[in-house]
Amino acid sequence: MSYKAAENRYKTMIYNRCGSSGLKLPAISLGLWHNFGDVDDLSNCRSMIHRAFDLGITHFDLANNYGPPPGSAESNFGKILKSDLKGHRDELVISSKAGYLMWPGPYGDWGSKKYLVSSLDQSLERMGLDYVDIFYSHRPDPETPIEETMGALDHILKQGKALYVGISNYSAEQTRTACAILKEFGSRCLIHQPNYSMLNRWIEDGLLDVLGDEGVGCIPFCPLAQGMLTDKYLKGIPKDSRAAKPHGFLQKDRITEEVLKKIDSLNRVAGERNQSLAQMSIAWILRDRRVTSALIGTSRVEQIEQNVKALDNLEFSEEELKKIDEILK
Ligand SMILES: NC(=O)c1ccc[n+]([C@@H]2O[C@H](COP(=O)([O-])OP(=O)(O)OC[C@H]3O[C@@H](n4cnc5c(N)ncnc54)[C@H](OP(=O)(O)O)[C@@H]3O)[C@@H](O)[C@H]2O)c1
């Protein structure tokens, strides 16, 4: 069935400026780490991309290794782009990354120029694109000089194969260094992609300050802690959930009694706000103005619809924030 984008797709989404750059990102972006591989149902992938775009989600986040098998999320996204979204390329911000194991041998992992440049070429081929909007160094490499990794990002910018570059999983200190090196090249770091949620608050301890100082945007991944920050695990592990899937990254043993107790209490606070826990978890990470966009994952269309409604209530009272801090202690 052919797809026609909803006429009203820009009516309700909020678009936030990414740091001090010219680029705006939707307050909620969709990541294709899980549920878009060859192990998944392509028609469900298509429906999720369509619904997301219809709701104003213009940013889709990928990486070379997303699948499984690695690379298949990019290939599937490429198919959907070609068949359904071809006329909308200039309305989309598409990102990819390299930094984790992608192919055997010494050139298919980490942060060398050799790896990053050739990996992006492969990603472009899989997605059928001439350029990505954002290309990331997926993780810092302790063995490659950071000058080389940033030099590779700068090279990619100058080749025109990415419009912007970013970093992911870099510490506050590594981020400051990366920004300074890119500036020396006459380029800039657009954005940082860190893990951040109510269950993982490490970026509050320095990284957010660096991003604010440097005018770099922030797009936290796993804002729902892979689904733990929803009500889905409160009554056991559903058969169709990430924790139950053999290829899911969420291990069952992470859903401990202690975590469930916190989730249950958070779920009550969300209820008092007339939100689902998923919605409150997204609103909570967006409460800091330095956070540009919440990078969610979904396994079905209804989750996208529910999560976008988080934007209906982004305000937190002092009392609510205190209650949440108390629960998370
Ligand atoms: N840079 C990095 O190193 C890095 C690392 C990880 C992720 N990422 C990026 O971040 C994106 C998001 O990661 P994530 O998928 O772990 O994010 P997440 O939003 O924390 O978790 C998504 C999962 O939560 C469940 N869920 C979502 N909405 C729900 C709702 N309303 N009710 C109940 N369950 C709901 C779904 O799992 P079920 O399958 O159980 O339904 C969904 O797949 C990735 O796709 C990727 O782009 C980046």
Task: Give pLDDT tens digits for 61-90.
Answer: 999 999 999 999 999 999 999 999 999 999
Amino acid making up residue 36? F
Q: In this predicted model, what pLDDT tens digit does every residue of 147-199 receive, in sequence order?
A: 999 999 999 999 999 999 999 999 999 999 999 999 999 999 999 999 999 99
> Residue 183: inside a domain, yes or no?
yes
Substitution site in 299, 300, 309, 312 for ligand 1 pocket (most atoms within 8 Å of beta carbon): 299
Please state, in angstroms and as integers, the Cα–Cα distance from residue 65 to each residue in 75, 93, 197, following that order.
Answer: 11, 19, 23
pLDDT of 108 > 70? The answer is: yes
> Residue 323: inside a domain, yes or no?
no
Paired tokens of 24:
């705006």
Q: Which atom of ligand 1 is nearest to the CA of 238?
A: 40
Question: What's the rounded Cα separation, in Å, for the pair 30 and 26?
Answer: 10
Expressed in angstroms and rounded, the spacing between residue 187 Cα and the centre of ligand 1 is: 31
Is residue 272 within 8 A of residue 280, CB to CB? The reply is: no
Beta strand pairing status for 24-26 and 15-17? antiparallel
Substitution site in 40, 296, 306 for ligand 1 pocket (most atoms within 8 Å of beta carbon): 296
Expressed in angstroms and rounded, the spacing between residue 254 Cα and the centre of ligand 1 is: 15
Expressed in angstroms and rounded, the spacing between residue 279 Cα and the centre of ligand 1 is: 13
Q: Counting Cβ atoms within 10 Å, is residue 329 exposed (0-12), middle (13-18) or buried (19+)?
A: exposed
Q: Counting Cβ atoms within 10 Å, is residue 315 exposed (0-12), middle (13-18) or buried (19+)?
A: exposed
The single residue listed with the structure tokens 């899989």 is 126
Average pLDDT over residues 313-321: 98
Domain with 90, as residue range(s), is 15-233+275-314
> Residue 158: inside a domain, yes or no?
yes
> Residue 241: inside a domain, yes or no?
no
Q: In this predicted model, what pLDDT tens digit does every residue of 215-273 receive, in sequence order?
A: 999 999 999 999 999 999 999 999 999 999 989 999 999 999 999 999 999 999 999 99
DSSP conformation class of 200: B
pLDDT, mean over the chain: 97
Is residue 194 within 8 A of residue 220, CB to CB? The reply is: yes
> Residue 224: inside a domain, yes or no?
yes
Expressed in angstroms and rounded, the spacing between residue 212 Cα and the centre of ligand 1 is: 25
Paired tokens of 183:
């500036």
Q: Helices marked H in 172-314 — which ranges?
A: 172-184, 207-214, 257-272, 277-285, 301-308
Paired tokens of 104:
């055997």
Is residue 95 within 8 A of residue 88, CB to CB? The reply is: no
Expressed in angstroms and rounded, the spacing between residue 244 Cα and the centre of ligand 1 is: 14
Q: Which atom of ligand 1 is nearest to the CA of 300?
A: 41
Q: Which atom of ligand 1 is nearest to the CA of 297?
A: 15
Question: What's the rounded Cα separation, in Å, for the pair 283 and 288?
Answer: 10
Structurally, the chain folds into a number of domains equal to: 1
Question: What's the rounded Cα separation, in Å, for the pair 248 and 251?
Answer: 7
Say how far residue 182 (Cα) sits from the centre of its chain. 22
Question: What's the rounded Cα separation, in Å, for the pair 61 and 95?
Answer: 5
Q: In this predicted model, what pLDDT tens digit does every residue of 109-126 receive, in sequence order?
A: 999 999 999 999 999 999
Say how far residue 95 (Cα) sits from the centre of its chain. 9
**For residue 121, which of 162, 91, 87, 174 has the smallest C-alpha distance?**
162
Expressed in angstroms and rounded, the spacing between residue 137 Cα and the centre of ligand 1 is: 20
Question: What's the rounded Cα separation, in Å, for the pair 40 and 34?
Answer: 9
Substitution site in 303, 308, 309 for ligand 1 pocket (most atoms within 8 Å of beta carbon): 303
61 forms beta bridges with 31, 95
DSSP conformation class of 253: G
What pLDDT is stored for residue 2 in this prediction?
87
What pLDDT is stored for residue 324 in this prediction?
98
**For residue 121, which of 156, 149, 86 has the smallest C-alpha distance?**
156
Q: What's the pLDDT band for 22 if we cut at 50, 70, 90?
A: very high
Expressed in angstroms and rounded, the spacing between residue 298 Cα and the centre of ligand 1 is: 6
Q: Beta-carbon neighbour count of residue 184 at 10 Å? A: 12
Around ligand 1, the residues with Cβ closer than 6 Å are 31-35, 61, 138, 168-169, 193, 221-227, 230, 232, 241-242, 278, 295-299, 303, 306-307
> Residue 77: inside a domain, yes or no?
yes
Q: Which atom of ligand 1 is nearest to the CA of 279?
A: 31
What pLDDT is stored for residue 293 in this prediction?
98
135 forms beta bridges with 96, 165
Q: What is the 3-state secondary structure (H, E, C) of 143-193?
A: CCCHHHHHHHHHHHHHHCCEEEEEEECCCHHHHHHHHHHHHHCCCCEEEEE
> Residue 260: inside a domain, yes or no?
no
Nearest residue (CA) to ligand 1, atom 7: 221
pLDDT of 1 > 70? The answer is: no
**CATH classification of the domain holding 79:** 3.20.20.100
Expressed in angstroms and rounded, the spacing between residue 238 Cα and the centre of ligand 1 is: 16
Expressed in angstroms and rounded, the spacing between residue 222 Cα and the centre of ligand 1 is: 5
